[in-house]
Structures are given as C-alpha cells and as structure tokens.
Structure 1
Amino acid sequence: MITDVEGVKFVLHNEGVLFETGYPQSLKDVLGERAMLFHHGDLQKRMHAMLKRFVSSTPLKKYLTREMELLTKQGMSTWSRGQRILLQDEIQRITHDFLMKQLFGLEPGKLSTTILEEFNTLMAGIIGVPMMIPGTPYFKAMKAREKLSQIIMDMVAARRARPDIEHKDILNALIEEVKEEDGDVEKIIIDNVLVNIANAEGIPAIVIAFAVKNLSETPKALEHIREENLAIKRGKDSNEGLSWNDYMSLEFTQAVFNETLRLANGAQGVMRKALKDVEYRGYIIPKGWTVLPYFLNIHFDENMFPNPTKFHPWRWLEKNIPSTYVLPFGGGSRLCPGQELARVQTAVFLHHFVTQFKWDAEPETVINFPKISTRNHVPVVLYDLH
C-alpha cells in the first residue's frame, strides 16, 4: 500500500512501464477480461480516447447538460411534498436514466429498469471467491452478467439488421471502434459496455446523495450554494434551462462537488501489479506483487486540508490545491474520461434541488464496504422552497 502523494504519482504514471492493472479475478470474471479496466495496449488507449471524445466536444457538452436537466426535472416532478423519500434511490433513478440514454439511446421503461436491477446484482458480487457456488453473491453476479450480455447483444443485432438507422450513443461508437478488431468482437463489446456501466452507474448518484447529506449538516454551505444558484435562476425566463456557461460559472457548487469527493471518494484506491522488481525509496516491490495506491490518505492530508474530516467547501476557493492531491477519478493514462460528466450531473441536480426544495433530513452515516454508500440512502422529507 502506498499512501503519499509522490508514491501514488510514481505508480500511476508508470502504467505499462513498471506496473499494470492488478485487480482480483472475481472482478475480471464479472466485468470481463477484455474490458478497458483490465486491458493493456492499443485497444485500451483507443477505448479511452473514444469515450473522451464522446463526452468532451463542446456540442456534446451542451447536449448532455440539456439531457441531464430534462431528466432531473422529470424525476423531481414525481416527488410528493411532506412525505419521506429515500433520496439516494431517487437520484439513482435519474442518473440511471441519463446513463441509459447516453449509452444505448434508451428511454426510461421496463428494459432500463431490468438493466438497473441486474446490474445491482452484478456489482454485489464483484469482490468474492470466484467459485460458482449457488446462492453466493459471485454466483448471482455471473448469472446477472449472462442476462445483461444477452440484452446487449440483442441491441447490437438489431442495429446490424438496420444499418440505415443512425444512433448517436456510446454503444454505436464502441461498435464502430472495434469492428475491425481481431478476436471475439462480441465479447469486447459486452465487457466494455459493462465496465462503462460500472464506472458511471452508481458513483454519480452516491456523490450527489453525499453532497445533499453534507449540505444538510452544514447550513452555512447550503445557504451559500442556494444563493449562488438562485442568482443564476433569477436571470432567466421560467422555462429557460441551465446552459454550459451557467454550469461553468457555479464556483461554489463545483467546490461542494470537490469537497464531497474528497471526503467520500468512490474509488478509494486502485490496484496495480509490478511488471518487474521495482525499487522505490530504498524498498523493493517484487515482480508480480500487487500495489495499492490509496487515495483517501492523500485526501485527508492535514498539511493540504486543515481539519480534514470537516466538510468545508470554501477551502477550494481559498487556495489553489494541486491536482496531485485530487484523485477521485484516478490518474495517469487511466484517468476516468467521464469525470466532467459526473461534475455536470451533480451541478445540474443540485441547481434544481436547492432552488426548488427545502427539506428535513434524518441523521445519516457512511459505509465503505463492499462499496461506498449511505447506510439509510438519505431519507428526507421535502417541501417547496417558496
């Protein structure tokens, strides 16, 4: 385990030279060996570049902001006032619908719900003994993988049967990227679709839920973010949406996002395997050993983050924090290409949430295993702000 800034940087920036990914077999079985998370070389680089292109162009950024806003408004319109809801679950429905639209061009409905249910079963079994024993989380995860694989391949078959229909989604970009690839193209598609769902499915909902939890516990921060977003709203017509420029101007909202991820990072570390004997600071990391760059230790460094356990978003406005201390999306050549998308989702949701609602929140705690979440899924009772 490596817990200091320079050590983590050393490992992440020597990908493919001194280290390669070293995740457990159960994770590889469930998500697939050909997924970009585990793969090396040209295919991994092309997949990473393809995803970055999909979410980074200016027209797409504007489109994705509008799409997230539309789904957020639709989701919030169904919430009852004065009744208890589990906010994390409600947020996941919104972010899931957004992901399904961008990944498959899929509208909310039965198929989208089925994918979410099967995927939750799949993710519950990613860490475990890789043995097909009925009733175990791993067994259930592998069965869920079979069902999801069939759904994905049915979509691919339908598109190949009607090549005249244009699809502007990640699945189509993936099909085009690998059509000349050697080997089992169908497996490459399935594995990389599943790893994209894994990267984008649960984390945005959890980040947003944590942000609401932190704001509920910090009235001064809630007042600040509400005023910032109301100022944007006052300058618009009632039916006018949040633009990309508006999103970029929400400095305190971005600080809330950064501080939330610092305190509760979805990726607490990554696993790498030494390709050879590696010497670092007088120590030898033997060839084949797994190395865990641990991000949370850096996020709680008292020298960079005074009073590190406190939610204090103003710290991101008070000084320039080096990127080496901010690792919610990994680093090096495997830096998550969807990080800006997660920021957009969070900013759009918080904009509409804090400008429409006030709420009573029940006490909430964080759990960290097998994945980071909230214990009670953020129960709140909502009321209209005005």
Structure 2
Amino acid sequence: MISSSTVWAWTSLAGVAGVFWLAALVYWRSWRFRKLQRLPPGSMGWPLIGELVPYVTIVRSETPFRFTRERESKYGPVFKTSLLTGKTVMITDVEGVKFVLHNEGVLFETGYPRSLKDVPGEHAMLFHHGDLQKRMHAMLKRFVSSTPLKKHLTREMELLTKQGMRTWSRGQRILLQDEIQRITHDFLMKQLFGLEPGKLSTTILKEFHTLMAGIIGIPMMIPGTPYFKSMKAREKLSKIIMDMVATRRAKPDIEHKDILNALIEENVPAVVIALAVKNLSETPKALEHIREENLAIRKGKDPSEGLSWNDYMSLEFTQAVFNETLRLANGAQGVMRKALKDVEYRGYIIPKGWTVLPYFLNIHFDENMFPNSAKFHPWRWLEKNIPPSYVLPFGGGSRLCPGQELAKVQTAVFLHHLVTQFKWDAEPEKVINFPMISTRNHVPVVLYDLN
C-alpha cells in the first residue's frame, strides 16, 4: 500500500512539473507572438499560392519592377510575401541588398526552388556552400582573368563570329537572337571540348533549349510538362557529355567541368547581345555613336586583321551600351537566399528557414541614380561615376559571377563586327522577363551590307 507521504510527494512533483511546463508554454507562445509581431509588414496573399500569380503576371511584363515598387510604396524596402519558395522577405534598397549578399554563409545560404536545383543538378556551383564554393569561385575567377587566356578567347570568339556572319543572307529576314545563340554556343563547345560546329553541337543546343524551358516550374514528373521535358533533356545532355568525357580521359580536368551550369551561363551573353541590338535599333543616335567608335578603331588595320584585347577594352561607348542593356533587362532580377537562423534587421525579424530575396531591379531603376530610368541612355555611364553597389547584373558578394569580363568581351566582339559590316531593318520587339530573360520574337532583322 502506497503511503500518503509518497502520494503527496508525487503529486507535488507533478504539480511543479506542470507549473514549469505551463510557464514554458506561456513563454514560448509569448516569444513566438513577439517574433511574429516583428515580422516585416506585407501580405502573404492567398493560401497555398500566396502572391505568385500577381508576381508572375507583373514580372513577365515590360515593367517587371512594378510588383516590388507597389509594395515598397506601402511597406518600405523590407516586406514579406509568399512566392515560389513559400514565406519570403523581399529587400529592395542598396543597403539591404548589400547586407544579404555580404552575409553569405553567416546569416544566409542559397535557397532556390526545387526545379532550379533539379535541372542543373545538386553539384552545380550555384548550390555549393562554404569553403568549397569559395575555392571553386576563386579558381574560376583566376582562370577567366588570365591575360593570355583572355587574349586567346577574344581571338576565338572573333573567329567564330566572323565565320557565323559569313553564312547570313543579305536582304532576307533572320532571327538575330538565334544566330547569336548559335555563335556563342559554338564558342563554348569549342573551348570546353574542342568540338567544331556540326550535328552534335546542334543536338546539344536543341536539348539545352528544352532544358531551359522547365528550369522554373512545378517539379512534377508528369509526361508532357516543361519540367518533365527538362529533366529528360538533362539526362540526354549528361549522357552526351559523359560519352565525350569517356573518349578524353587523357584530359581529366574536362571531367570535372559542370557542363549544365556552363550551358545555363552561356545563355546570358547571347540574350544580352540580342537585347543590345534591339536597344540600338530603337535608338538611332546610339547606333550611330557605337558605329563611329568601332569604325574609328579599325582605321589603319588590314581588313583581315583582328582586334586586340586592348582594342576591345578601349571601346568605352560599346561598354556603356553593354552596361545600360543589362541595367534595363537584368538576367537575374534578384537572388534567393535562406535564413540560417533568426536574423534581426532594421528592427524586424527574418525567421530561420524563410527565403530572403534581395531584388536588384528596384536599384537598377532608381530615379535618383538613373534619371528617366526606363529609357535606354548609354551615355549616362560616361556622364558620371556610378557606384558598384548600383550595378548588380552579375550578383554580388562572394558569388559575384566570375565570367562577367568574358561576357563583356563576347558582346564587344559581336557588336564590333555587326555595326562595322551591316546595317539592318528591325521589326518591333518586346522583352520577356520571366522565367528567363529573352525577347518575344528573337529579334527579327533584315541585314544589308554597310557599304
């Protein structure tokens, strides 16, 4: 028989435990309430889909920054919403973007939707963290920054550009973006695998387009959907590359190149060049200026003589066209990061696990820095010194794209030969900003010899 003292002891212990449990519950609920109270302002939209529909609708338009501008006017430059990755905090000003980008690996890590991880694969450099990411980034930067290599790549790009342009028919309509894509693709295939233009290179390009069509979408393996086709294209590309690798075991460095990641990055200069041609076609004064600059640098050279690296770097207005084109139509409207812990910023709490989206377009269309910001005006890059924090087409922080200089050179090479050899009639064109930056009709033009 249990004594009354024993019953009293257990009852007291249970009572104390209950009090502690209740106190802990009250504290937790109070802490959670205070934490929720300190979330940034904003709307989470509808259940399940959040604000995804208005976001996609607006960012596909000619004014993609309107989604954030409307919310920024209500809530300020830090606000909550719900998009592709669920609960999201968007940050739209220079200081906030710098805060996120420069706290990579400390407060934040990459946090992209599943489809974007599945298509290039988990080993893509985009998803590496910590020391591995830093080492790979530094290695690539040293690689593309090598002066001898830059000179070699410039010559190779010029050679393939001239070779590709020789196939163009004068007086006939061509889709210039597709032609540019073919030339930049041939350049990449030759540099990575020594692969000359031909059937295999064309097959890789075709599968690449299929892959890109499903890179942002609902990750469900349902036959016929863009995601399903994209994953199948990834399998085909992987097999093609591995078959090529198997025949080149004597060059083991090739085996470690992330070809799918490289293919995705390849799309950037092709679209930038196409958009630059679109902007020049719509701005005759700028087209005249860039043509005069490039014709001047050819004076005194033999027609067959190529341009040096220093020649390309001296094309100031051509570089201004490149910068202005990327400002207006940035391939990366922002980057997605995930909070590694509760982050306090400007009096708000960004909860652990939430997506943080530093948004670049609001900065690129800042009227204080870029007056009449929606207008293509490349001279603005010559008229004043624009701080690097306002120039984010290649990201920033530890993940600043190491290939940005190469993209500039590719653009300069192509535009140089285009404007010094051809004049053209261009059809009206619109920009598509989502899911990837592109042009609606692929820049249809009719080309004629300049002289």
What TM-score does the superposition give when structure 1 sets the normalisation length?
0.90
Choose the corresponding residue for 1:342, options 385, 400, 407. 407
1:82 to 171, 178, 186: 171
Instruction: Flag the 1:307–1:154 CA change in 2: closer, same or farther, 3 A.
Output: same
**Match for residue 140 of structure 1?**
229
Residues 1:119 and 2:208 aligned together = yes
- Taking a change above 3 Å as real, the CA distance of residues 283 and 134 of structure 1, as seen in their structure-2 partners, is same
Q: 1:378 to 1:165 in 2, by over 3 A?
A: closer
Contact 2:342 2:351 in 1 (8 A): yes
Verify the 8 A CA contact 1:104 1:170 in the aligned structure 2.
no
**Does the 8 A contact of 2:124 with 2:261 survive in 1?**
no
Aligned partners of 2:124 and 2:258 also within 8 Å: no
Deviation at 1:156, TM superposition (A): 2.1
Would the alpha carbon gap of residues 299 and 168 (structure 1) be closer, same or farther in structure 2, given more than 3 Å must change? closer
1:44-63 equivalence runs, <5 A: 44-63=133-152
Between 1:40-49 and 1:300-309, the stretch displaced more is: 40-49
Measured against aligned partners, the alpha-carbon deviations of 1:215-249 in whole angstroms (never above 9, x if no partner) come to: 11111111110000000111211111011010110
2 CA distance for matches of 1:56 and 1:218?
33
Return the offset for 1:202.
1.2
Deviation at 1:52, TM superposition (A): 1.5
Q: Helix, strand or coil for the counterpart of 2:249?
A: helix
1:32-54 deviations in whole A, cap 9, x for unaligned? 11211011123222221222122
Residue 24 of structure 1 corresponds to 113
SS in 2 for 1:267: coil
Confirm whether residue 379 of structure 1 aligns to residue 433 of structure 2.
Answer: no
Q: In the TM superposition, what is the alpha-carbon distance from 1:26 to its structure 2 partner?
A: 1.1
Change (3 A) 1:55 1:161: closer
Partner Cα distance (1:9, 1:81) in 2: 48
Verify the 8 A CA contact 2:125 2:261 in the aligned structure 1. no
Within 2, Cα distance between the matches of 1:138 and 1:171? 16
Contact in 2 for aligned 1:103/1:171 (Cα 8 Å): no
Listed one character per residue, the Cα deviations across residues 239-261 of structure 1 (whole Å, up to 9, x for unaligned) are 11011010110000000000000
Q: Which has the larger radius of gyration?
A: 2
Mark the CA change 1:258 to 1:162 in structure 2 (over 3 Å): closer, same or farther.
closer
Q: Identity of counterpart residues, as a percentage?
A: 91
SS in 2 for 1:75: helix
Confirm or deny: 8 A CA contact 2:290 2:317 kept in the other structure: yes
**Residues 99 and 200 in structure 1, CA contact (< 8 A), matched pair in contact too:** no
| Cα displacement string for residues 79-134 of structure 1 (whole angstroms, at most 9, x for unaligned residues) | 01111111111111111111112222221111111111111111111112212111
Give the distance between the partners of 2:342 and 2:260, measured in 1 at CA: 39
| Per-residue deviation, residues 285-331 of structure 1 (Å, max 9, x unmatched) | 10000011111110000000000001000000000000000000000
> 2:343, 2:350 within 8 Å by CA — same for their partners in 1?
yes
Assess if the C-alpha contact under 8 Å between 1:87 and 1:379 holds in 2. yes
Kindly indicate whether the alpha-carbon contact (under 8 Å) linking 1:54 and 1:170 is maintained by their aligned counterparts in 2: no
Residue pair 2:204, 2:237 contacting (<8 A) in 1 also = yes
- Tell me how far apart the structure 2 counterparts of residues 168 and 372 of structure 1 sit (CA, whole Å): 25
Work out the CA distance in 2 between the residues paired with 1:314 and 1:90. 28
In 1, the alpha carbon distance for the partners of 2:113 and 2:192 equals 26
Q: Is the 8 A contact 1:104 1:171 kept in 2?
A: no
TM-aligned CA distance change 1:67 to 1:79, over 3 Å: same
**Do the aligned residues in 2 keep the contact of 1:269 with 1:296 (CA within 8 Å)?**
yes
Distance 1:160 1:5 in 2: 47
Residue 166 of structure 1 deviates from its aligned partner by 13
Residue 164 of structure 1: CA displacement?
13
* Residue of structure 1 in register with 2:358 after alignment: 293
- Distance in 2 of aligned mates of 1:167 and 1:232: 40
- CA–CA separation in structure 2 for the residues paired with 1:8 and 1:171: 28
Structure 1 range deviating more: 45-54 or 2-11: 45-54
Asked if 1 retains the 8 angstrom alpha-carbon contact of 2:160 and 2:183, the reply is yes
Relative to structure 1, the CA distance from residue 171 to residue 363 in structure 2 (aligned partners, 3 Å threshold; closer, same or farther) is: closer
Name the CA distance, whole Å, in 1 between partners of 2:440 and 2:258.
Answer: 34
Q: Contact (CA 8 Å) 2:111, 2:337: kept in 1 or not?
A: yes
Moved more, 127-136 or 38-47: 38-47
Aligned residue number for residue 423 of structure 2: 358
Tell me the SS of whatever aligns to 2:127: coil
Contact 1:104 1:169 in 2 (8 A): no
How many equivalent residue pairs? 362
CA contact (8 A) 1:105 1:167 kept: no
The offset of 1:339, in angstroms, is 0.3
Question: Offset at 1:151?
Answer: 1.4
Residues in 2 aligned to 1:170 and 1:377: alpha-carbon distance in whole angstroms: 25
Structure number with higher relative contact order (C-alpha < 8 Å, ≥ 6 residues apart):
1
Residue range with higher mean Cα deviation, 289-298 or 35-44:
35-44
Q: 1:384 to 1:160 in 2, by over 3 A?
A: same
Supply the distance in 2 between the matched residues of 1:147 and 1:172 (Cα, whole angstroms). 15
Q: Which shifted more, 243-252 or 95-104? A: 95-104
CA 1:19–1:377 in structure 2 vs 1: closer, same or farther (change >3 Å)? Answer: same
Task: Say which is worse superposed, 351-360 or 198-207, in terms of deviation.
Answer: 198-207
State the SS of the aligned residue for 1:359.
Answer: strand
Q: Secondary structure at the match of 1:221?
A: helix
SS in 1 for 2:174: strand
Quick one: structure 1 residues 305 and 143, their matched pair in 2 at CA, closer, same or farther if it must change by over 3 Å? same
Q: What stretches of structure 2 of length at least 5 have no aligned partner?
A: 1-89
The answer as to whether partners of 1:329 and 1:339 remain within 8 angstroms in 2 is: yes
Moved more, 332-341 or 232-241: 232-241
Q: Deviations over 1:137-192 (max 9, x none)?
A: 1111111111111112112222226779999999999xxxxxxxxxxxxxxxxxxx
Tell me if structure 1 keeps the 8 A contact 2:245–2:254. Answer: no
Return closer, same or farther for 1:36/1:162 CA change in 2, 3 Å cut-off: closer
Aligned-residue CA RMSD (Å): 2.3
